[in-house]
């Protein structure tokens, strides 16, 4: 992450995710309450977004996001999956389906991202490695019966910010998926290769905005 960028770091991640996850007219007070970020930091981030035309001022102290996709793309320059998480690589001791079924039976905090999450909304997404955020990779691997591997079938990512768990979606089996905006920025910044794997999810989000923005 570029520490000098106003869009780098935990505070910016929480504010930007709030702006992405909700369709709203935002006051500073509302953003502070939703993001948990102090008002001075919120104002600094909003001022930077305003300078880059990523928010639109509707009234004194009131902003909205004219293009959520433009905001995702700008954020992706600083919040990069390949650079902002500690990664370890594993393979399931049993099959992948059994492994995914096992995750919800444990108490390990998790959020699936990458293509495995994207396929939940856009089934035509290319199949790729299974990428999962979790605070303690070793504890997760033990609970989920994973074996260290160079094949990178499963990537456990220990995040530098808990925003990746924010507003996660729960599947019918109890599996937690990172929010669509988080999954998209991860796909754009290294959660899988090639980057075009993000295209189906991008199209779905454009066509079904009311289904993923509150």
Q: How far is CA 141 from the centre of its chain?
A: 21
- Rounded to whole angstroms, how far apart are CA atoms 183 and 172? 19
pLDDT of residue 105: 95
Region 58-77 average pLDDT: 96
- Rounded to whole angstroms, how far apart are CA atoms 23 and 64? 8
CB-CB contact of 131 with 116 (8 Å):
yes
Region 13-25 average pLDDT: 97
- Rounded to whole angstroms, how far apart are CA atoms 73 and 82? 15
Q: How many CB atoms lie within 10 A of CB 133?
A: 27
* Distant-in-sequence contacts of 135-142, Cβ < 8 A, 24+ apart: 135/109, 135/159, 136/108, 137/86, 137/88, 138/88, 139/108, 140/106, 140/108, 140/110, 141/88, 141/90
pTM: 0.95
Region 93-118 average pLDDT: 93
pLDDT of residue 1: 45
pLDDT digits (tens, 9 = 90+) for 113-126: 999 999 999 999 99
Whether pLDDT at 2 is above 70: no
Domain ranges of the chain: 10-75, 81-212
Q: Which CATH architecture has domain 10-75?
A: Orthogonal Bundle (1.10)
Backbone angles phi, psi at 25, to 5 degrees: -90, 125
pLDDT digits (tens, 9 = 90+) for 186-195: 999 988 877 7
pLDDT of residue 151: 87
DSSP-assigned beta bridge partners for residue 64 = 56
Averaged confidence pLDDT in the chain: 94
pLDDT of residue 138: 97
- Rounded to whole angstroms, how far apart are CA atoms 74 and 125? 23
- Rounded to whole angstroms, how far apart are CA atoms 161 and 84? 9
């Amino acid at each position: 992450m570029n520490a000098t960028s106003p869009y780098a770091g935990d505070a910016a991640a929480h504010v930007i995710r709030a702006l992405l996850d909700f369709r709203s007219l935002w006051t500073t007070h509302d953003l502070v309450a939703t993001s948990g970020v102090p008002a001075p930091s919120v104002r600094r981030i909003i001022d930077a977004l305003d300078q880059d035309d990523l928010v639109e001022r509707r009234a004194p102290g009131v902003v909205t996001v004219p293009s959520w996709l433009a905001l995702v793309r700008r954020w992706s320059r600083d919040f990069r999956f390949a650079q902002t998480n500690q990664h370890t690589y594993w393979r399931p001791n049993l099959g992948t389906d059994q492994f995914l079924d096992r995750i919800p039976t444990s108490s390990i905090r998790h959020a699936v991202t990458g293509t495995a999450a994207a396929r939940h909304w856009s089934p035509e997404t290319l199949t790729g490695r299974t990428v999962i955020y979790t605070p303690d990779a070793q504890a997760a691997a033990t609970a989920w019966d994973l074996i260290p591997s160079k094949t990178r079938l499963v990537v456990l990512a220990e995040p530098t910010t808990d925003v990746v768990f924010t507003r996660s979606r729960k599947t019918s089996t109890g599996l937690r998926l990172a929010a669509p905006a988080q999954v998209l920025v991860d796909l754009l910044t290294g959660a899988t290769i090639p980057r075009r794997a993000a295209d189906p999810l991008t199209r779905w989000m454009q066509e079904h905005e009311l289904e993923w923005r509150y």
